[in-house]
Amino acid sequence: MKTNFKKNESDVVKNQDSNSDENQNRTYTQEEFQDYIVKSGAKGSFMIYRSDNEDEELGIEEI
């Protein structure tokens, strides 16, 4: 707990997993990010667009 009347413990996260920590902090390129999105699937109901050709995404030509 953090309070305004006593010294608060450092909020450094305990039990860190060094591998997951590395993954959490790594900066992704646009390509790596897109790859991650495609591999992770439509998590939590968000819509994911998949096409080899980015210009084809959304399929507006078909509307």
Partner 1 sequence: MVPEIRLDSAPTSFPFWAGILASIVENKGGQVGILDLNALRMNHGEKLVPSQVVSEEISSEDWDIVGIGGLTSTYGRIKQLAPIIRKSSPNSLLLAGGGWSTYNPDEILQLIPEIDIICIGEGELTFSELYDEVKSGNNDFEKVNGLCIRDDNNVKYTAPRALISDLNTIPYPAYHLYETEIYFKYSRHWYSLESFNAKRRAAVVWERGCPRGCTFCSHNGMSRIDLQNIYGSGNRQEGEKLVRISDKENDTFQLPARWPTPKYAVENVKLLKKQYDIDFLTIVDENMTSNKKWTEEFCNLYIAEGLNETIKWGTLGDAPSVATQPHLVETMKNAGCTYISFGFESASDKVLSEDIQKGQTRSHLQKTLDTIKKAKMAPLTTFMIGNPHENIDDLMETVDFWIKNKAEVNPFICTPYVGSPIFYDNKDFVLEQYDLRLRLVNEEKYSIDEDVLKKWKLQALDKFMTECGDATNYTATVSQNFTIPELFALKQFMYTHDTKRMLEWAHQRFEQTGLSQWKHSSKWDSYCSICSAKKELENTIKLST
Quote the least distance from Cβ 19 to partner 1, whole Å: 14
As measured in angstroms, the least distance from the Cβ of 28 to partner 1 is 6
Q: How far apart are CA 30 and CA 23, in angstroms?
A: 16
Which residues lie closer than 8 Å to 29 by C-beta, 6 or more apart? none
CA angle 59, 62, 63 (to 5 degrees): 100
Block residue for tokens 């495609």:
38
How many residues of this chain interact with partner 1, rule: CB under 8 A? 37
Interface residue with partner 1 among 15, 18, 19, 22 (CB under 8 A) is 15
Site residues, partner 1 (CB under 8 A): 1-5, 11-15, 24-25, 27-28, 30, 33, 36-37, 40-51, 56-60, 62-63
